Amino acid sequence: MVRSGGTRTLPAFAALALAFLLGLSFSGMGRSALPAAVDGQPLPSLAPMLERATPAVVNISTRGQLTVRSPLFDDPFFQHFFGNPGVERKAETQSLGSGVIVDADNGYILTNNHVIEDAVQIRVTLRDGRELDAEVIGRDPDTDIAVIKVPPKKLTVIELGDSDALRVGDFVVAIGNPFGLGQTVTSGIVSALGRSGLGIESYEDFIQTDASINPGNSGGALVDLKGRLVGVNTAILGAEGGGQGNIGIGFAIPINLVRDIMQQLIENGEVKRGRLGVEAQDLNADLAQAFDLESRQGAIVTRVEQGSPAQRGGLQIGDVILRVNGRKVRSSLDIRNLVGLMRLGQKVEIEFLRGGKLRLVRLTVEEPRVPSLDGGEIHVRLAGARIGSIRDDDIRRGVSEYLQVLEVEQDSIAWFSGVRPDDILIAINQRRVSNLEQAKAAAARSRSLLLTLRRGDRMLQLLLQ
C-alpha cells in the first residue's frame, strides 16, 4: 500500500490478489446507473441533495516536515570509525485531501489521519471559496481518522447517517477533491460491507464502493441519496502496473465506527483502547469438523491472559466464539476489530460454544497492561529508554508479541546511542527477541550491543558501544 495525493492506494500485486479474492474482474467493469426513483418518488437529478451536502465537504492542503536521517549514519562500519553524530535534516512535505464538517458550532471537521499526519500547517478551503487555518484536535492512526478545527463562522454541517442500515446495492455518492481539481462528485453503489484483512489499517470494517474515489478524495464524504454521511473515503485499489487511477474498487470507513472515534478524539485528543485478554484463531473446515460444528464461521480461543477480564469471566482455551455483542464473528480478526473499537469500561457480551453447548459471558473492556522496564536493566547502553513488551495481532506487523521503545529520555545514554521512541526491537546481538526476558538473555555479559530495529517502514542495524 502506498500513499498518493492524500489517498491510500494498494500496490499492483495486492490489487491483483485482492481482485481475485473478491471475485472481481478488471475487464468489463462499468459504472452503476442511478435509480429511477427513491422512496417511490421520481429522481431526475441529485442536484437538490448535493446542494445541501456539498457545502459541508472541504478541501484540505497541508505543509509538513519530516526528519530524514541518512542511512550512512546507521551503518555499523561508519559508526565504528566516526561514532554516532546523529546528523539529521528536515524534508518538507505537502498533501492534498478532503474533509467533512460535522459540527458547525465548534468548527470540527472529520478527515483521514494520513491527510494531516506530520503537518505543521493545515489549510482548509470551503465550498464558498473561503480559506481557513486549522488545528489538530486529535488523530487515530489505527483507524486513520482525525479531527481538525477551524473558526466556527458560517459553516454548513452534514447530517450523519446510519452505516449499519446500508445494504449491498444501495446507491451512494462520493464527494471530495480528487487530484486537487476542486470539489467533485461521483456516484456508485455499495459493492460490499465489512471488508477487513486488507492490511490498510489496524482496525478495518470498510464499506466497498464503485463510486470513483481518486487521489485527493481521502477524508471526503460518502453519502446516501438523502445526503447523509455514511462513510469517510480512505483508500482505493490501484490499477495494474502501479497506476493510481480508479478501477472501481474504493473503501470508506463506516460512519458508525467513525462517530465513536470522533467523540473520543474530541474529548481526549486520542483513542484509549482496551483488551479482554483473549487471543483466537480462525475456524476452518477441519477444525469445524473436529468440534462437530455445522458453521465454519467463528474463532477458537488459543490463549487467555492471566488476570484479564476473559479469565475472570471464565473463557477457556478451545472455546469457539460465535458472536460479540450480537454480531457474528467470521474470523479472529472480527474479535480484534470489535473489541479494539470499544471504549474502556464498555460491556461486552460474548456467545461461545464449549462441549457442544451454547454459552454466554459478559465482560468489561479494561485498559491493557504493558509490562515494561528501563533499558538500563537490559544493558547499560539502553539506559533512559523505557522498553515495553507488546502483545498485539496488528495485521500490519504480522506478529503477536514484540518489544517496542515506549519513550526515550532526552540526553540519556540510549538517546545518544541512537535509540528513538516507537523503535521495534527485532534482535539483540543477532538473537531474535520478542519479550523482556529474551532481551536480558541476549544482552547478558556483552560490552557492546548490535541492535536490529524496525523504524517506520525500514530495518536498520544500530551498534551501541
Question: How far apart are the C-alpha atoms of 42 and 146, rounded to whole Å?
Answer: 38
Higher pLDDT, 54 or 284: 54
Same domain, 313 and 194: no
**Cβ atoms of 359 and 352 closer than 8 Å:** yes
Of 310, 331, 364, which marks where a domain is finished?
A: 364
Point out the least confidently predicted range of 244-258, 402-416, 444-458.
244-258
* Model pLDDT, residue 235: 81
Closest by Cα among 284, 304, 308 to 296: 284
Same domain, 328 and 379: no
* b/e per residue 62-101 (b: at least 16 CB within 10 A): bebeeeeeeeebbeeebbeeeebeeeeeeeeeebbbbbbb
Higher pLDDT, 282 or 399: 282
Same domain, 211 and 69: yes
Span 117-132, average pLDDT:
89
Out of 61, 74, 98, 144, the active site residue is 144
Same domain, 342 and 382: no
Interacting residues of 424 by C-beta distance below 8 A, sequence separation 6+: 397, 402, 403, 404, 405, 453, 454, 455
- Report how many helices (DSSP H) and strands (DSSP E) the chain contains, helices first: 10, 29
Same domain, 212 and 293: no
Q: How many CA atoms lie within 13 A of 34 on its CB side?
A: 14
Span 12-33, average pLDDT:
43
* Model pLDDT, residue 167: 93
Same domain, 265 and 303: no
**Cβ atoms of 221 and 170 closer than 8 Å:** no
CATH code of the domain in which 382 resides: 2.30.42.10
Same domain, 16 and 103: yes
Higher pLDDT, 236 or 16: 236
Out of 61, 191, 196, 218, the active site residue is 218
Question: How far apart are the C-alpha atoms of 410 and 30, rounded to whole Å?
Answer: 56
Same domain, 41 and 119: yes
Interacting residues of 78 by C-beta distance below 8 A, sequence separation 6+: 72
Same domain, 338 and 382: no
Element (H, E) at 101: strand 88-103
Average pLDDT, the chain: 80
- Catalytic status, residue 282: no
Of 271, 304, 325, which marks where a domain is finished?
A: 271
- Catalytic status, residue 372: no
Span 315-337, average pLDDT:
86
Q: 46 pLDDT band (50/70/90 cuts)? A: confident
Q: 30 pLDDT band (50/70/90 cuts)? A: very low
- Mind listing the pLDDT tens digit for each residue in 179-198? 667 788 888 999 998 877 67
Please give the share of the chain, as a percent, with pLDDT higher than 70. Answer: 79
CATH code of the domain in which 112 resides: 2.40.10.120
Same domain, 5 and 81: yes
Global confidence as pTM: 0.67
Strands (E) in 164-228, as ranges, are 171-176, 184-195, 206-209, 221-224
Same domain, 87 and 224: yes
Structural domain total, the chain: 3
Q: 12 pLDDT band (50/70/90 cuts)? A: very low
Q: For residue 410, report the phi and psi dihedrals to the nearest 5 degrees.
A: -60, 140
- Catalytic status, residue 133: no
Higher pLDDT, 421 or 43: 421
- Mind listing the pLDDT tens digit for each residue in 127-184? 888 999 999 999 998 889 999 999 999 999 999 999 989 999 999 999 988 766 778 8
* Model pLDDT, residue 82: 53
- Mind listing the pLDDT tens digit for each residue in 70-82? 555 555 555 555 5
Higher pLDDT, 370 or 109: 109
Out of 61, 98, 114, 212, the active site residue is 114
The CA-to-CA distance between both ends of the chain, in Å, stands at 37
Point out the least confidently predicted range of 297-301, 338-342, 382-386.
338-342
Span 431-460, average pLDDT:
88
Domain that holds residue 450: 372-464
Span 294-298, average pLDDT:
77
* Model pLDDT, residue 17: 42
Same domain, 404 and 325: no
Of 309, 335, 364, which marks where a domain is finished?
A: 364
* Model pLDDT, residue 338: 79
